[in-house]
Amino acid sequence: MADTEVKEQKEEPKKIVHTYPLVRHSDMAEETKAEIMELVVTACEKFSSNNEAAAKMVKDEMDKKLGPPFHVVVGEDFGFEISYECSNLLYMFFGGNLAIVIWKC
């Protein structure tokens, strides 16, 4: 499964009020998770209109932090099936319409 940056910006009517980061699935340690969530939030807010740049930023930071082979997907609609190194997966939602998958493999 390649890390694909889905870029299409589909403008939906704003009926979603919840924009806080919501972790769907993760097997990371609690502190790491919190740290990464913060990073993701920063990246997605910094590049709110450019998912690719956001993903790149997150990936670079993660490589620096936890060692290189990290993959990051930021997008609105996609499916994925990945194999990852245990305790290195984070699947979260943010901003009401973005899904972010981060894994190491």
Partner 1 sequence: MSPAKTARVSVYAAKKGVKSSTDTNDELEEWRRGKQLLKPKSQLDLSDAELKETIGKQLSTLNPQLPDSIVEFNYAAGGFISLPLPGNTVVVYELQGTSMHKDSEEARDQMVELGIDPSTFEESSESSLDTEPKAEAIEVKPEEEGEEATEAKEEEPEDEQAKPDKADEEPEAEGDGEGEVEVKVEPAKPPQKGGRPRKLTNQFNFCERAALTFNNPTRSQETQTVPPPMATFSANVLQWVIYDAYQKDFEAQQLEKELERERKERDKAPVSRHQASKKGQGRAQLSEAVQGRVLDCWKVLERMINQNTYDDIAKDYRYWDDPSDEFRDEEGTLLPLWKFTYDRTKKNTITDLEWNPYYYDLFQVCFGFFEFLKPTAEGAVCMFTLKNPSFPDYICMTESGVMCVDTHPRYPYMVVIGLYDGNVEVFNVQATCKTSAYKSNSVTNKHKGIVWEVKWAPDLPDGELNFYSVSTDGNINNWVLMQNELAVTTILTLFFAKESVPGPDGTHLKPKSCASCIKLHPKKPLIYLVGTEEGQIFKCSTAYSSMCLFTYNAHLLPIARIDFNKYNTDIFISCSSDWRIKIWEDNRLEPLFVFDLGDRVGDVKWAPYSSTVFAAVTSEGKVYVFDLNVNKYKPICIQAVVSRRRNRLTRLSFNPKLPIIIVGDDKGCVTTLKLSPNLRIPCKAPKKQQYLDQWTLQCMKLDKLLSLVREPVTLTFPQDLAGTDVS
Out of 9, 22, 45, 68, point to the residue binding partner 1 (CB under 8 A): 22
Which of 9-17, 28-36, 43-51, 52-60 is the region at the interface with partner 1 (rule: CB under 8 A)? 9-17
What is the rounded distance in angstroms from the CA atom of residue 74 to the CA atom of residue 93?
9
What is the rounded distance in angstroms from the CA atom of residue 82 to the CA atom of residue 39?
22
**What values do phi and psi take at 79, rounded to 5?**
-125, 155
User: What x-and-dash track marks residues 43-82 binding partner 1 by CB under 8 A?
Assistant: --------------------------------xxxxxxxx
Q: Give the total of residues touching partner 1 (CB under 8 A).
A: 30
* Strand duo 98-104 + 22-26: pairing: unpaired
Written as one letter, the residue type at 25 is H
Applying CB under 8 A, which residues contact partner 1?
10, 12, 16, 18, 22, 24-25, 27, 75-86, 89, 91, 93, 96-99, 101, 103, 105
